[in-house]
A and B are shown apart, each in its own frame.
Chain A
Amino acid sequence: MDYETTVGLEVHAQLLTKSKMFCRCSADYADAAPNTHVCPVCLGMPGVLPVINQRAVEYVVMTALALNCTIPEYCKFDRKNYPYPDLMKGYQISQYDAPLGVRGRLDIEVEGQKKRIGITRVHLEEDVAKLTHRSIPGEGSYSLVDVNRAGVPLMEVVSEPDMHSPEEARQYLMKLRTILQFLGVSSGNMEEGSFRCDANISIRPFGSTDSGVKVEVKNMNSFRAVYHALEYEEQRQRRVIEERGRLVQETRGWVEEGGVTVSQRSKEYAHDYRYFPEPDLPPITCSRQWVEEIRSRLPELPDARQDRLMAQYGLSHYDASLLTTSKAMADYSEACVKLNAEVQVEKRAKAVSNWISGEFTRLLHATDIQISDSKVSPEHLVEMLDLIDEGTLSGAAAKTVFEEMFHSGKRAKEIIAEEGLTQISDAEEMKEIVARVVAANAQAVADFKKGKEAALTFLVGQVMRQTKGRANPTVVNKLLKEKLEESA
C-alpha cells in the first residue's frame, strides 16, 4: 500500500538581541564561563519582575511580516507552568493564545516545484537554562545548571502540517533559516543550538481522510538529522502499520549514532501546562502604524534577492538560488561583481557564482568557516578572476592558487610568483612537454589511433599534470592533436 506522509515543524530560534528577554544581562553567552551572564531576574530570585525587551518584540514582528503573517493588535504573554530544574521560575514566560504573528506562509521549492507551506503562528518566549548531566562510576549521577542561556529571547515558528516528505521539511527549514539570516534576527546555527527544530509526523494510506497518529520527533541537531529522522520515522510507522501493530501518539528522540528514533514519553504523561496570562506584564498593543513602520524597514528577502540577481546579473535560476541560500554569500558575490566595472557584468557574475558555489563552498564546509569570516576577501577573489581573464593564470592552476589563498590569506599574485604557476604560453616549451607525454604513453596513443576519443582526454590530463595545471587546456588539446596526427 502507498502511504502519504504529513509533517509539521516547530522551530525555535534564539534572537540576536544584545540583552536577554526580560533583564539586562547580555544574551551573547557563547564563550562565557557558566553562570556569568546572570542576575536576580534571570535567576528567578524571589521578588524579581520581568521587563519586555522591545527589540525582541520587533524582531518577531519582522519575522512574522516576512512570513506574510497577520500581526494582531492585541498580543500578550502567558505563563507556561511545568517544574524542571532548567526553568528558573518554575514557569516559562511564553505566548499561548495571543501570539505576535498568525496565519502566514512560506514558499519553498522542491525538485523544481514551488510549494506553499502555511505558518500557523510566530511567538516570543524565553529560553531555559542548560543542564549537563554527569555521572561518576560508583557514586551516581548529578546535573550541572548553567543559567547563561536562561532568559535569552526565543522565537517559535510553527508551521501547518503542509509538508509531505523529509525533503520538503528540509527545504522549509533551510528557507526559514535563510529568511531569519537575511532579517538579521537569528544566527540560525543548528549545531550550536540557536536554531532548533521539533517535527510532528504522521502517515496514512493515500486517499485516506483519517489523519493518522502524530509522533513528535526531537533531538535533531542538523538539517541532515531532520531529514534522516523523518525518513526513519516514515519507514518505522509504515512497518508498524503493516505488521498490524498499534501506533501510539508519543514523543520520540532522534539518536544520531544509531540512526533511529527512540520513544521518550507517551501522550498519557503529557504535561498540563496550566497556561494563564502573565500578570507581571501588560498586554502588547501592536498599533497599525508601528507594524507598517516595521514592514517598511524590512530588508530585501531571499526570494526578492534571487529575482534581482537573475534580472540584474543575468544569473540562472539555479545559480541565483544557490547564492541566496545565505545572506553572507549573496552579499559576498554582489560585492565581487561590483568590484571590477570593466569586465562584462554577466560573464563576471557567472564566474563569481561558479567559484562561490563550487570550490569556495567546498573549502568553507571542509574547514567549517563562514564566508564572512574567510581570509579570501571579495577583492582577493576578483584579483584572481582578473588574472584568469588576462591569461596569466589557467583555470586548472587557479584551483591550487585559490586553495592556497583560502588557507594562507595570501593574494593570488604572491602565490603565483612563489610557486611559478604562471600559465605556460611559450609554444616551444609546451611542444616539448607534449612530445614527452606522447612518447611515454604508447598504449594511449595506440588507443587513440584505434578511434578511442577517451584516450585524448587522458593524454591532456597527463600534460596538465606535468605542468601542474599551468598549461592552457585548449592549447594542449590543439598541440596534442597535431603531434598525434604528425606521428601517424
Chain B
Amino acid sequence: MNLYDLTIHQAHQLLKNREISSIELTKAVLERSAQVEKKVRALVTITEELALSEAEKADKRISDGDFTPLTGIPALVKDNMCTKGIRTTCSSKMLENFIPPYDATVVEKLREAGMVLMGKTNMDEFAMGSSTENSALFITHNPWGLDRVPGGSSGGSAVAVATGEALYALGSDTGGSIRQPAGFCSVVGFKPTYGRVSRYGLVAFASSLDQIGPLTKDVTDSALVMNVIASYDARDSTSVNYPVPDYTKSLVPDLHGLRLGIPREYFVEGMEKGVEEVMRTAIAKLKELGATVEEVSLPHTKYALAAYYIIAPSEAMANLARYDGVKYGFSFQETESMWDALEKTRQFGFGPEVKRRIILGTYALSAGYYDAYYLKAQKVRTLIRREFEDAFERFDAVVTPTSPTVPFKIGEKVDDPLQMYLSDVCTLPINIAGIPGLSIPAGFADGLPVGMQVIGKPFSEETLLRIGFAYEQATGWGERKPPL
C-alpha cells in the first residue's frame, strides 16, 4: 500500500508504532502531489518547507509521547480559512496576495494537535459555486473523470483527499460546499450543526449558513477530525457551548433501533436514473443493517432554493463590502478619485458569479423590497426548520442523495446559473435549517461517484457518524481509488 493512500487512523497506528515517521509520510504525500497535481490542480498553495518542518516537530512529539491521533498527519485547508503567514486567496483576484496576520480557530486547533499543513486548496471564488469552475485562479478536475467537475465549492479539498494529496482536508459548507464535492469525488464530507465548529477565521460568505467541516477518506477519520475542531469559541458568538463528545465512540457497525426517514421531495424531478438506482440499493442496505426505513414528506423543501438565494447573497453583499482596495488585497490605483478606485477595485477584483450574488443581495435588501424578499425568505427558513424538527420527532435521521446528478462535464453549466444552483438542491435546505449533514460514498453510476446524505437534528453528529460508519463497513465504496 502507498503511504499516501492511508487513512488518518491507519497512519496514526504506524506513526505510533514507529513503523513510519511523519517525515516519510509527508514526503510520500508531497511526491503524490507532484505526480497528480498537473492532472487535477487541487492546490492553490503548497507549503512544502513548512510541512517538512512541522513533520519533523511531529516526529519529535511522537518520540516524546506527547501526541494526538492527528499528530504528524498531512492535511490541507480550504483557501478561505486564514492561515497566519500563508496566503489565503479565497481563489479570488481580490485576495490573490493576501497573507493573514492570524490563524483561524480551526487551524489553531489542528496545529496544536500536530497537523502537518501541506497547503491550501482551490475553491469557487469566495465559496460561491458548485463546481470549482468559479475559481479565479484555475479549474480543478475530478479524478474520476478529468473532463468533469469535482463539485464545489470545496472542490480542491475533495479532490486532494480522493487522490492522496493529503490524508484529510478542511472544507466549508454554506449550501452543500463540503457534501456535494465529497459526493462527486467519493470521499466522506461532514457539515456539522451550525455553531458546532468555530467560524472565526473563515472568510465569510453567508454568515448564518457557513460551517466548517472535514473531508476525509472514511467515517472514522471524520470523527477524529471532529474531535479536534468541534468546540465552543468565545471569539465566535454563534458557536454553541454544548459538550463535545468523543465522536469515535459512536462508530458502531449496526443500525438496529434507528428509524430513518426517506423524504420523497428529495427524489426530485431531474434526478439522474443512475443516482436513483444507487440510492435505492443503499437504502435497502440500511434496512439490512437493522434500521427501520419509512417515507416522509418535507413539502417546504421546494422553497429552500429560492430562500437560499435571497438569504445567502444578502449576507454576502455585506460580507464582501470590506474589499475596497484600501486595507489589503487587490487595489486599483491608477485613477483620480476615491470612488473610482473603489469601483474599479471591485470591478476587476471580483469574478462574475461573485458580482452576480452581490447584485442579488443588494437588490433583495433594497428599500421597498426587503419585506417581499429578505423577510419572506426568513419566514420560509423558519418553516423549513420546523418541518425538519417535526420529522425528527419521528426519525433519528433522514437519508437523501447528496446531489441529483453525478459529476457533470466541465463547462456544462457555467453559462446557466440556475442549473448550477440546482446542483445543491438536496444539500442547501440543511444549511437553511442549521442542522448537520454527512455525505458518504454510496456507490457509482457509470463509473462516476454517487454520494448519500444523512441528515439529523441539531447536535446529532454521533448518530450520523454511526449510520455512515455502519454503511461504510458494509459496503466499502470509499476504498475504491480513482484511476489516476
Interface residues of A (CB under 8 A from B): 40, 43-52, 79, 81, 83, 85, 88-91, 140, 143, 145, 272, 274-276, 279-282
Is B317 touching A47 in the complex (CB atoms < 8 A)?
A: no
Is B207 touching A276 in the complex (CB atoms < 8 A)?
A: no
Is B314 touching A276 in the complex (CB atoms < 8 A)?
A: yes
Within the complex, what minimum Cβ distance (angstroms) separates A195 from chain B? 28
Question: Within the assembled complex, what's the spacing in Å between the Cα atoms of A51 and B243?
Answer: 21
Interface residues of B (CB under 8 A from A): 80-82, 88, 90, 95, 98, 100-102, 104, 199-204, 206-208, 234-238, 314-315, 317-318, 320-324, 326-328, 336, 338, 342, 362, 365-367, 370, 374
Question: Within the assembled complex, what's the spacing in Å between the Cα atoms of A276 and B104?
Answer: 26
Given contacts A90-B324, A274-B366, contact A81 B88 (CB under 8 A): no
Given B90, B321, B326, which contacts A145 in the complex, CB threshold below 8 Å? B326
Question: Within the assembled complex, what's the spacing in Å between the Cα atoms of A322 and B339?
Answer: 49
Q: Which among A47, A50, A276, A282 has the highest number of chain B CB atoms within 10 Å?
A: A47
Within the complex, what minimum Cβ distance (angstroms) separates B318 from chain A? 5
Given A44, A81, A274, A280, which contacts B207 in the complex, CB threshold below 8 Å? A280
**How many A-B pairs fall under 8 Å by CB?**
102
- With a cutoff of 8 Å between Cβ atoms, the chain B residues found around residue A40 in the complex are 100-102
Is B236 touching A49 in the complex (CB atoms < 8 A)?
A: yes
Is B203 touching A47 in the complex (CB atoms < 8 A)?
A: yes
By secondary structure, the A interface counts as loop
- With a cutoff of 8 Å between Cβ atoms, the chain A residues found around residue B321 in the complex are 81, 83, 89-91
Is B238 touching A282 in the complex (CB atoms < 8 A)?
A: yes
Is A90 touching B322 in the complex (CB atoms < 8 A)?
A: yes
By secondary structure, the B interface counts as loop
Is A46 touching B88 in the complex (CB atoms < 8 A)?
A: yes
Is B199 touching A49 in the complex (CB atoms < 8 A)?
A: yes
Question: Within the assembled complex, what's the spacing in Å between the Cα atoms of A44 and B323?
Answer: 10
Question: Within the assembled complex, what's the spacing in Å between the Cα atoms of A44 and B95?
Answer: 14
Within the complex, what minimum Cβ distance (angstroms) separates B432 from chain A? 13
List 28 A–B pairs whose Cβ atoms lie within 8 Å, in order of A's numbering. Answer: A43-B327, A44-B327, A45-B100, A45-B328, A46-B203, A47-B88, A47-B100, A47-B204, A51-B234, A52-B237, A81-B317, A83-B342, A89-B318, A90-B318, A90-B320, A90-B322, A91-B321, A272-B367, A274-B317, A274-B366, A276-B318, A276-B370, A279-B207, A279-B238, A280-B237, A281-B237, A282-B237, A282-B238
- With a cutoff of 8 Å between Cβ atoms, the chain B residues found around residue A145 in the complex are 326
Question: Within the assembled complex, what's the spacing in Å between the Cα atoms of A162 and B205?
Answer: 44
Beyond A49-B237, A52-B237, 12 additional pairs, beta carbon < 8 A: A46-B90, A46-B322, A47-B104, A51-B235, A90-B320, A90-B322, A145-B326, A279-B207, A279-B238, A280-B204, A280-B237, A282-B237
Within the complex, what minimum Cβ distance (angstroms) separates B290 from chain A? 39
Question: Within the assembled complex, what's the spacing in Å between the Cα atoms of A354 and B317?
Answer: 60
Within the complex, what minimum Cβ distance (angstroms) separates B403 from chain A? 26
Within the complex, what minimum Cβ distance (angstroms) separates A434 from chain B? 76
Question: Within the assembled complex, what's the spacing in Å between the Cα atoms of A40 and B88?
Answer: 15
Is A279 touching B338 in the complex (CB atoms < 8 A)?
A: no
Given contacts A51-B237, A276-B314, contact A46 B199 (CB under 8 A): no
- With a cutoff of 8 Å between Cβ atoms, the chain A residues found around residue B324 in the complex are 83, 85, 90
Is B235 touching A49 in the complex (CB atoms < 8 A)?
A: yes
Is A280 touching B88 in the complex (CB atoms < 8 A)?
A: no
Within the complex, what minimum Cβ distance (angstroms) separates B202 from chain A? 6
Within the complex, what minimum Cβ distance (angstroms) separates A214 from chain B? 18
Question: Within the assembled complex, what's the spacing in Å between the Cα atoms of A89 and B208?
Answer: 17
Is B317 touching A272 in the complex (CB atoms < 8 A)?
A: no
Within the complex, what minimum Cβ distance (angstroms) separates A152 from chain B? 18
Is B238 touching A47 in the complex (CB atoms < 8 A)?
A: no
Within the complex, what minimum Cβ distance (angstroms) separates B162 from chain A? 27
Within the complex, what minimum Cβ distance (angstroms) separates A478 from chain B? 77
- With a cutoff of 8 Å between Cβ atoms, the chain B residues found around residue A49 in the complex are 199-200, 235-238
Is B338 touching A274 in the complex (CB atoms < 8 A)?
A: no
Within the complex, what minimum Cβ distance (angstroms) separates A132 from chain B? 14
Question: Within the assembled complex, what's the spacing in Å between the Cα atoms of A207 and B204?
Answer: 55
- With a cutoff of 8 Å between Cβ atoms, the chain A residues found around residue B90 in the complex are 46
Q: Which among B320, B324, B328, B336 has the highest number of chain A CB atoms within 10 Å?
A: B324
Select from chain B the residue with minimum beta-carbon distance to A41: B235
Question: Within the assembled complex, what's the spacing in Å between the Cα atoms of A44 and B322?
Answer: 7
- With a cutoff of 8 Å between Cβ atoms, the chain A residues found around residue B104 in the complex are 47
Question: Within the assembled complex, what's the spacing in Å between the Cα atoms of A372 and B318?
Answer: 45
- With a cutoff of 8 Å between Cβ atoms, the chain B residues found around residue A90 in the complex are 318, 320-324
Is B203 touching A279 in the complex (CB atoms < 8 A)?
A: no
Q: Which among A49, A81, A89 has the highest number of chain B CB atoms within 10 Å?
A: A49
Within the complex, what minimum Cβ distance (angstroms) separates A75 from chain B? 14
Within the complex, what minimum Cβ distance (angstroms) separates A282 from chain B? 6
Question: Within the assembled complex, what's the spacing in Å between the Cα atoms of A384 and B282?
Answer: 96
Question: Within the assembled complex, what's the spacing in Å between the Cα atoms of A341 and B203?
Answer: 66
Within the complex, what minimum Cβ distance (angstroms) separates A43 from chain B? 6
Within the complex, what minimum Cβ distance (angstroms) separates A275 from chain B? 8
Is A276 touching B374 in the complex (CB atoms < 8 A)?
A: yes
Select from chain B the residue with minimum beta-carbon distance to A272: B367
Within the complex, what minimum Cβ distance (angstroms) separates A272 from chain B? 5
Question: Within the assembled complex, what's the spacing in Å between the Cα atoms of A45 and B338?
Answer: 20
Which 5 A-B residue pairings sit nearest by Cβ, starting from the closest?
A90-B321, A279-B208, A274-B365, A279-B207, A46-B203
Question: Within the assembled complex, what's the spacing in Å between the Cα atoms of A143 and B324?
Answer: 15
Given B237, B328, B338, which contacts A50 in the complex, CB threshold below 8 Å? B237
Within the complex, what minimum Cβ distance (angstroms) separates B128 from chain A? 15
Within the complex, what minimum Cβ distance (angstroms) separates A6 from chain B? 25
Is A46 touching B82 in the complex (CB atoms < 8 A)?
A: yes
Is B202 touching A91 in the complex (CB atoms < 8 A)?
A: no
Is B338 touching A79 in the complex (CB atoms < 8 A)?
A: no
Select from chain B the residue with minimum beta-carbon distance to A143: B338
- With a cutoff of 8 Å between Cβ atoms, the chain A residues found around residue B322 in the complex are 44, 46, 88-90
Is A85 touching B338 in the complex (CB atoms < 8 A)?
A: yes
- With a cutoff of 8 Å between Cβ atoms, the chain B residues found around residue A275 in the complex are 365
Is A274 touching B237 in the complex (CB atoms < 8 A)?
A: no
Question: Within the assembled complex, what's the spacing in Å between the Cα atoms of A415 and B150?
Answer: 89
Is B342 touching A47 in the complex (CB atoms < 8 A)?
A: no
Question: Within the assembled complex, what's the spacing in Å between the Cα atoms of A47 and B374?
Answer: 24
Question: Within the assembled complex, what's the spacing in Å between the Cα atoms of A414 and B365?
Answer: 72
Within the complex, what minimum Cβ distance (angstroms) separates A226 from chain B? 30
- With a cutoff of 8 Å between Cβ atoms, the chain B residues found around residue A140 in the complex are 336
Question: Within the assembled complex, what's the spacing in Å between the Cα atoms of A46 and B102?
Answer: 10
Question: Within the assembled complex, what's the spacing in Å between the Cα atoms of A90 and B338?
Answer: 15
Select from chain A the residue with minimum beta-carbon distance to B378: A277
Is A47 touching B101 in the complex (CB atoms < 8 A)?
A: no
- With a cutoff of 8 Å between Cβ atoms, the chain B residues found around residue A81 in the complex are 317-318, 321, 365
Is A85 touching B95 in the complex (CB atoms < 8 A)?
A: no
- With a cutoff of 8 Å between Cβ atoms, the chain A residues found around residue B323 in the complex are 90
Question: Within the assembled complex, what's the spacing in Å between the Cα atoms of A275 and B318?
Answer: 10
Is B95 touching A48 in the complex (CB atoms < 8 A)?
A: no
- With a cutoff of 8 Å between Cβ atoms, the chain B residues found around residue A272 in the complex are 366-367
Select from chain A the residue with minimum beta-carbon distance to B361: A274
Select from chain A the residue with minimum beta-carbon distance to B343: A83
Given contacts A83-B342, A89-B322, A272-B367, contact A280 B238 (CB under 8 A): yes
Question: Within the assembled complex, what's the spacing in Å between the Cα atoms of A279 and B95?
Answer: 23
- With a cutoff of 8 Å between Cβ atoms, the chain B residues found around residue A51 in the complex are 234-235, 237
Within the complex, what minimum Cβ distance (angstroms) separates B370 from chain A? 8
Within the complex, what minimum Cβ distance (angstroms) separates B129 from chain A? 18
Within the complex, what minimum Cβ distance (angstroms) separates A56 from chain B? 14
Given contacts A40-B101, A52-B237, A90-B324, contact A79 B203 (CB under 8 A): no
- With a cutoff of 8 Å between Cβ atoms, the chain A residues found around residue B370 in the complex are 274, 276
- With a cutoff of 8 Å between Cβ atoms, the chain B residues found around residue A91 in the complex are 318, 321
Within the complex, what minimum Cβ distance (angstroms) separates B436 from chain A? 19
- With a cutoff of 8 Å between Cβ atoms, the chain B residues found around residue A50 in the complex are 237
Question: Within the assembled complex, what's the spacing in Å between the Cα atoms of A50 and B237?
Answer: 7
Within the complex, what minimum Cβ distance (angstroms) separates B242 from chain A? 14
Select from chain A the residue with minimum beta-carbon distance to B102: A40
Question: Within the assembled complex, what's the spacing in Å between the Cα atoms of A86 and B336?
Answer: 19
Is B318 touching A47 in the complex (CB atoms < 8 A)?
A: no
Is A47 touching B237 in the complex (CB atoms < 8 A)?
A: no
Within the complex, what minimum Cβ distance (angstroms) separates A41 from chain B? 8
Given A43, A52, A143, A276, which contacts B365 in the complex, CB threshold below 8 Å? A276
